[in-house]
Structure 1
Amino acid sequence: MDIIEKARELGRLIQEEDSYKKLQDAQKNADADMELQRLIGEFNLKRMSINNEASKKERDQEKLSKLNTEMREAYSQIMSNENMIAYNDAKAAFDVVANRVLAIVQQSAEGADPETADYSQSSCSGSCATCGGCG
């Protein structure tokens, strides 16, 4: 079996992982939640309105402040929605697994022992933008 076949096998195993299945279910539930989708749409409209107002030469600070408050309220409602909470929890659980898998593969590609290579959460902020690489 060559390395590409092994990568595809790994992909299948990831999709069989319990945390992956829970994430997919949570995504479906969030997508089917019409109230949540309405709130997300409202949030996006507020964000666009803020961008439009902020890009004006003579912006209305009072209007910007009002839109900002409304956008924060919409965000708060989104984040307190039970399906969004379940999605975020499932995403966090799957990210732990995905980060470990990625760290093991990357560290192994850099010469680390695949038997001991692993993800160290304490050394990772979660943002790859400021990272010099896992390991």
Structure 2
Amino acid sequence: MDCIDLFKKAAAAMQTDPRYLELDAARRMNDADEELQKMIGEFNLQRLDLNRASAEAEPDSARIAELNQKINDLYTQIISSEGMVRYNAAKSECEAMVNHIDAIINTAMNGGDPMTVQAPQGGCTGSCASCSGCH
């Protein structure tokens, strides 16, 4: 078995991690939330309207300001909804896990011992040339 096959097995194992399972559950919950999907659809329509209004030969600044306000209001509603709060928290946890995995891979690629890599702190991805993923 080569390293690609091993990484595929590791990726499948990652999909059984509680952090991934929470992200997947939050994603499915949001997909099934009709009110949230309605707001997202409205947000997208308002963005299209804003793009059209902005591209007009003589843009109506009052209309553009109104559309911007609607878009900002919808965005605030969407991002503060229970489902999106849950999703974003789970996404952050998964991103931290992926950053740790990335630090392990980069450490190994730089000749370091991947077994000693600790989870990166403070947004470190372990990808800089001198990093061993230990920041």
What is the letter of the counterpart of residue 64 of structure 1? I
Q: Distance in 2 between matches of 1:133 and 1:106?
A: 9
One-letter amino acid of the structure 1 residue matched with residue 13 of structure 2: L
The answer to whether 1:106 aligns with 2:106 is yes
TM-score (norm 2): 0.86
Amino acid at match of 2:108: S
| Unmatched 5+ stretches in structure 1 | none
CA positional deviation for 1:100 = 0.5
Corresponding residue for residue 94 of structure 1? 94
Q: CA deviation at 1:6?
A: 0.9
Tell whether 2:69 aligns with 1:69: yes
Please give the alpha-carbon distance, in whole angstroms, between the structure 2 residues aligned to 1:89 and 1:64. 33
Which residue of 2 is the match for residue 6 of structure 1? 6
Q: CA deviation at 1:112?
A: 2.4
Q: Output the aligned Cα RMSD.
A: 2.0
How far does residue 72 in structure 1 lie from its aligned partner after superposition? 0.3
What SS does the corresponding residue of 1:115 show, helix, strand or coil? helix
Q: Which consecutive residues of structure 2, in runs of 5 or more, have no partner in the other structure?
A: none
Structure 2 CA distance for partners of 1:74 and 1:133, relative to 1, 3 Å: farther
> How far is the alpha carbon of 1:117 from its aligned partner?
3.3
Give, as a single letter, the amino acid of the residue that structure 2 aligns with 1:14: M
Deviates more, 1:49-58 or 1:106-115: 106-115
Q: Distance in 1 between matches of 2:130 and 2:38?
A: 38
Q: Shift of the alpha carbon at 1:133?
A: 6.7
Q: Which position in structure 1 is the counterpart of 2:35?
A: 35
- Equivalent residues of 2:36, 2:78 under 8 A apart: yes
Single out whichever of 91-100 and 113-122 deviates more from structure 2.
113-122
Q: Which has the higher contact order (CA 8 A, sep 6+)?
A: 1
How big is the shift at 1:118?
Answer: 4.3
Deviation at 1:116, TM superposition (A): 2.7
State yes or no: 1:50 paired with 2:68: no
Distance 1:64 1:134, change over 3 A: farther
Kindly, what percent of the aligned residue pairs are identical?
A: 34
Amino acid paired to 1:81: S
